[in-house]
Each structure stands twice: as structure tokens, then as C-alpha cells.
Amino acid sequence: MTELEIKQEVERQFNILSRGCEEIINEEEFKKKLEKSVVTKTPLKVKLGIDPSGTELHLGHAVPLRKLKQFQELGHQVYFLIGTFTGRIGDPTGKSETRKMLSEEQVMENIKTYLDQVALILDLDKINVVYNADWLEKLTLTDVLKLLSMFTVSQMISREDFAKRLSENKPVSLIEFMYPILQGYDSVELYADVELGATEQKFNLLRGRDLQKNFGQEQQICMIMPILEGLDGVEKMSKSLNNYIGVKDVPNDMFGKIMSISDELMYNYYKMITEIPLEEIERIKEDIENGVLHPMEAKKQLGMEVVKIYHGKDASSEAREWFENVFSKKNLDVDLPEVQLEYKEIGIIDLLVKETELVKTTSEARRLVEQGGFKINDEPVKDIRAVVNIESGMIIRAGKKKIVKVK
């Protein structure tokens, strides 16, 4: 390759890989690594670690996974690291209290379905799946003390969430100090050139750079990805907050959840969870602002794009047709998502919050009912004290976008 061709290839890869990143530490180093990779035809070693703290991956997890896919498609060496050791400790990032340690059995149970879900995004035949228990369990006490000697207490308590807890007289365990150090050591073990992580993991990723320097290695690039907001547009996407879209959600659920987001959040989703070119996203935004495109139609196009990524083109068209039948044409003679409930008499607030989990809080359920947004078999129920008998085939609707059928 000529010098010009090398420069063009580096810029091409940089433009693809930098899309959607919150921060790259640092960009010049990254371009140099890309240039060396192009010139020597040696792929970069790219690492993404996920702790198996749960069993289900959602589109928030998919953001860095899709970035990993871009590295994969450009011919780089991808390492998907499952934290079989660090997962027992639990990442303290963003936590207001010390997390309980998981047992080895719990961790192994959680990873059973991980790779099946990752396979929806990455080609498993072209990635290296590694488990950090393979090397972290072999560290001796001498090794651990050597790692600890490379950091100071002041470094650790400079971390925002630790500092906050200490200022509130809440405990921070020594094992939590170990977490970012162990994550950093993963980078040493893998000789990582690049590590991906969310904004809240920046502190941990930087410890990898520190350790690599101390071990005489070339420092990794920290590629910081933004955190995907959940369906509520307030908190980060999380299963525990019930504001998530699972990567294994069925097409109709996936499409329906996309349709429930705000117009403002829609643009962010376009950028973070699809591969639609940024110029096209800007054109969509301009068309909406100029009245050429209705926001509802733009959201339907987003829903189809997301469903297509995980279920294929045909499923995306069918999901749109289903949504329009149920919510636009109000045709309930179609397949609806089903829930298994005990046939009993129950208050509608408990039905909404505890049984179906269609809404998160009692106050939200009360407000929904009082505003006429709660329906049984398409008949509004506006009395918050109302009691219903749960029956097979009953259709429960909460607002414009949430609907289930009792098995």
C-alpha cells in the first residue's frame, strides 16, 4: 500500500470505529495503533468484558457488543471476556452499597444463555471467548500484593461512587477496591490494544492502562461508550428497572417497546442501536422538523430496523403489521403477548403493578387508571378501587402501547 492508501484506510477504520463513542483515550494513540495494524497486517487485540450478574442481555449491553462487531468485521482480533471470577465480586460501579458476592455456581448458571444471546450480534466462530477465572484464580498472594502495591488508597477513593459512599459514612469493602485492579489485570493477561466499556467504567479501563505500563506493555486504548437510556428516558436501561428491550424479546414485543419511547429518545436510539448512517439520521430529524415526516412513522421505521437486526426483515414487517392492527386499527383478533396469571379476584392496581408488571409503581398505576388509560377487554376502568376476576382470554391494556392477554 502507498502512504496515501495507508492514511485513507486508517481514516476509514477510525471513522467507523469512533462513531457513537463518548470518548477515546486517546485518539492519536488509537490512530497510531490502527496505522501499525494496517502497515504490518497485524490485527489489534480488542477486549470487552461482561460480568454474568444476570441471565438476560438487553440492548444496553448490545451497544458495546455491536462496536465489537465492527472491529470483528474490520479483521481485528476480538476477545469477549466473561468475568467468571470478577463476576463473583460484582462491579461496584454506580452502586450505593457493597454488593453481595455471588457463588461460583450462580455465576456458571448465569453464563449458560450468554453466548446464545451474544451470537445474535457477533459471529462466535470469529471471536475468542475467554474466562478470567482461568488466570485470576492462579494468582498467588505474592502476585496480589504486587498488584496492590501499584496503586494508592487516594487513587481508589478518588473514584466518584466510592467518594460519595465514604462521605455518607457508608462502607466500601477492600474487595471492591480490588475489582478495578483485577479488571485492569485482564488487559495485561490479554495484551489488549483496545478495551471497550461504558461511561461509568472509565475508572476501571484506565486502571488497565496503568497496569500495562507497569508491566512494560504498550498501553491500551480506552473506548468509552455512552450508556443507553431505558424506555423511560430517565434511567439507564436495566432489567431491574423494567425499562429494557431484551435481545431475545420476540419481534412484536421489541417493536412495541420501541413505539413506547419519546420522540426525543428516538434520535438517540437511532444513533446507538442501529447502523443507519448519521447523515440519514440527520435527514430524518430535519424531515420531522419540517413536517415532511411524522414522528410516528419515523418511530415505526426505527422499530423495523431494530427488529430486523435481531429477527430478520420478514419479522420486522410482520411486527409492524401486528402493531398497526392492535394499536391503530384496534383489531384484537391477532396474536397478543400472553401472561400466565392465577384465576382470582384482584384489585386493578395490584394487577397492573404486581401481577402483569405493566407499570412500575402504584402511583403510576393510579394515574393511568384515573386518566382512562387502563382497559379490560378494551373497556376503560377508571375506579382505582375496582376489583376484577382474572379469566382466560382477558385482554389487559395499560396506556397506548402495552397490552397482554391472559393465558
Could you tell me the strand order of the sheet in which 221-225 lies? 23-25, 221-225, 194-198, 45-50, 77-82, 127-131
Q: What mean pLDDT comes out for the span 126-144?
A: 93
Whether 314 and 189 map to the same domain: the answer is no
Whether 39 and 66 map to the same domain: the answer is yes
Q: Among 255-269, 374-388, 393-407, which range has the highest average pLDDT?
A: 255-269
Within 245-362, strands assigned E span 338-339, 345-347
Q: What mean pLDDT comes out for the span 61-68?
A: 92
Q: Select from 277, 299, 328 the last residue of a domain.
A: 328
pLDDT tens across 270-281, in order? 999 998 998 999
Least confident of 67-81, 90-104, 121-135, 226-240: 90-104
Strand partners, 79: 47, 128
Give domain status of residue 124, yes or no.
yes
DSSP 380: E
Query: Where does 90-197 have alpha helices with state H?
Result: 104-110, 114-118, 133-136, 141-148, 153-157, 160-167, 174-190
Name the one residue in this structure whose C-alpha cell is 413505539: 259
Whether 45 and 193 map to the same domain: the answer is yes
Mean pLDDT score across all residues of the chain? 88
Q: What distance in Å separates the CA atoms of residue 6 and residue 188, rounded to the nearest whole number?
A: 29
Least confident of 140-149, 157-166, 183-192: 157-166
Give domain status of residue 231, yes or no.
no
Whether 91 and 203 map to the same domain: the answer is yes
Whether residue 184 contacts residue 211, with contact meaning beta carbons closer than 8 Å, is answered with yes
Say if residue 95's pLDDT is above 60.
no
Q: Which of 37, 41, 40 is nearest to 17 (CA)?
A: 37
Q: What distance in Å separates the CA atoms of residue 87 and residue 232, rounded to the nearest whole number?
A: 28
Task: Count the helix, strand and coil residues of the chain and give each as a percent rounded to the nearest 5.
Answer: 50, 15, 35
Whether residue 384 contacts residue 310, with contact meaning beta carbons closer than 8 Å, is answered with no
Q: What distance in Å separates the CA atoms of residue 169 and residue 188, rounded to the nearest whole number?
A: 34
Q: What distance in Å separates the CA atoms of residue 59 and residue 230, rounded to the nearest whole number?
A: 9
pLDDT tens across 222-269, in order? 999 999 999 988 888 987 778 899 999 999 989 989 998 988 899 999
pLDDT given at position 124 = 87
Percentage of the chain lying above the pLDDT 70 cut:
94
Q: Give me the CATH number covering residue 197.
A: 3.40.50.620
Could you tell me the strand order of the sheet in which 379-380 lies? 338-339, 402-406, 395-398, 374-376, 379-380
Q: Which of 78, 56, 61, 57 is nearest to 123 (CA)?
A: 78
Percentage of the chain lying above the pLDDT 90 cut:
51
Whether 151 and 172 map to the same domain: the answer is yes
pLDDT given at position 16 = 93
pLDDT given at position 330 = 62
Side-chain-side CA neighbours of residue 327 (13 Å)? 23
Q: Select from 328, 355, 372 the last residue of a domain.
A: 328
pLDDT given at position 333 = 54
Name the one residue in this structure whose C-alpha cell is 496503586: 151
Give domain status of residue 238, yes or no.
no
Q: How many domains does the chain have?
A: 3
Whether 272 and 378 map to the same domain: the answer is no
Q: Among 111-120, 149-158, 202-211, which range has the highest average pLDDT?
A: 202-211
pLDDT band at 154 (very low <50, low <70, confident <90, very high): confident
Say if residue 96's pLDDT is above 50.
no
Q: Give me the CATH number covering residue 296.
A: 1.10.240.10
pLDDT band at 335 (very low <50, low <70, confident <90, very high): low
Give domain status of residue 333, yes or no.
no
Q: Select from 299, 328, 357 the last residue of a domain.
A: 328
Whether residue 165 contacts residue 172, with contact meaning beta carbons closer than 8 Å, is answered with yes
Q: What distance in Å separates the CA atoms of residue 117 and residue 3, rounded to the nearest whole number?
A: 41
Give domain status of residue 308, yes or no.
yes
Say if residue 211's pLDDT is above 90.
yes
Give domain status of residue 283, yes or no.
yes
Whether 342 and 317 map to the same domain: the answer is no
Give domain status of residue 244, yes or no.
no
pLDDT band at 391 (very low <50, low <70, confident <90, very high): confident
pLDDT tens across 277-301, in order? 989 999 999 999 999 999 999 999 9
Q: What distance in Å separates the CA atoms of residue 84 and residue 381, rounded to the nearest whole number?
A: 49
Q: What mean pLDDT comes out for the span 361-376?
A: 87
Q: What mean pLDDT comes out for the span 344-357?
A: 89
Say if residue 104's pLDDT is above 80.
no
Give domain status of residue 270, yes or no.
yes
pLDDT tens across 38-51, in order? 999 999 999 999 88
Whether 174 and 37 map to the same domain: the answer is yes
Whether 198 and 305 map to the same domain: the answer is no
- What cell does 17 get? 470505529
Q: In this structure, what are the phi and psi dihedrals at residue 402, rounded to the nearest 5 degrees?
A: -115, 125
Side-chain-side CA neighbours of residue 153 (13 Å)? 4
Q: What distance in Å separates the CA atoms of residue 13 and residue 104, rounded to the nearest whole number?
A: 39
Whether 90 and 17 map to the same domain: the answer is yes
pLDDT given at position 24 = 96
Q: Give me the CATH number covering residue 391.
A: 3.10.290.10
Whether 186 and 68 map to the same domain: the answer is yes
Within 14-125, strands assigned E span 23-25, 45-50, 77-82
Whether 349 and 204 map to the same domain: the answer is no
283: domain range? Answer: 251-328
